[in-house]
A = this chain, B = another copy of it.
Amino acid sequence: MEAVKVLIVDDEPNIRDLLSTSLRFAGFSVHAVGNGADAVFAAEKGAPDIILLDVMLPDMNGFSVTKKLRSMGIDAPVLFLTARDETEDKVTGLTVGGDDYMTKPFSLDEVVARINAILRRTKQAEVEESVLEVGEIRINQDAHEVFVNGELVDLSPTEYKLLRFLMSNANRVLTKAQILDHVWEYDFNGEMGIVESYVSYLRKKLDPLTSEPVITTKRGVGYMYKSAKTK
């Protein structure tokens, strides 16, 4: 299976590196540039399956870049990145077709999820399934719904993201630091105790519905989502 090609366009080197590393690790083929002109050039050469585009670039804004790309016949879907405090009307009109946008700061796991959601919708490439099922729990990622043995469970956004991250790394121990880095926004600077809190919340909601606890504590190491058979 061919790797999905992602083009990252952001002028902040930090964000670029952060995204590059995460997405490469998630199995994507990544190319990153820092301005609009390079983006147009790279998109033409590289034929990306999806483009991550910062709305505010030094040389041109996101609207200009997409306009240019579309006029060149490049219709890869775009996931726009925008700062939360920018007035939101700058964004309106951008998400044409299968496009979407997300505000900075985002969580790394969320980026991967959103990319997969867009690709699924536009069917530009072979991509992972919408349904993530491990053991007794099933997540429908399109609907953001979680079912435990067929029963719908209501989770808060963070609880949902945490569970998704744990499940997509089932039967593998994750340190609190890893969880914090993937599930929480990249500029979060609180304590790791929050992971404990959210694991506790999840257990309270999930354990009453499962035959045995699904989240195991590996003392001194971290947490693990456990399941006999991984579908």
Contact = CB atoms under 8 A, between A and B. Distances in A.
Given A101-B177, A157-B221, A25 B122 contact: yes
Nearest to A157: B220
A84 interface: no
B172 A142 contact: yes
Contacts of A17: 67, 70-71
A190 B93 CA distance: 11
A187 B89 CA distance: 10
For the complex of A and B, list the 10 residue pairs with the smallest distance between their C-beta atoms, beginning with the closest. A25-B97, A17-B70, A157-B220, A95-B181, A89-B189, A142-B172, A21-B96, A21-B97, A144-B173, A144-B218
Interface of A: 13-14, 16-18, 20-22, 24-26, 67, 70-71, 75, 88-89, 91-101, 108, 122, 142-144, 156-157, 171-173, 175, 177-178, 180-182, 184, 186-192, 218-221, 224, 226
Given A25-B98, A95-B182, 11 more contacts: A17-B71, A24-B75, A25-B97, A88-B192, A93-B186, A93-B189, A95-B175, A101-B175, A142-B171, A143-B171, A156-B219
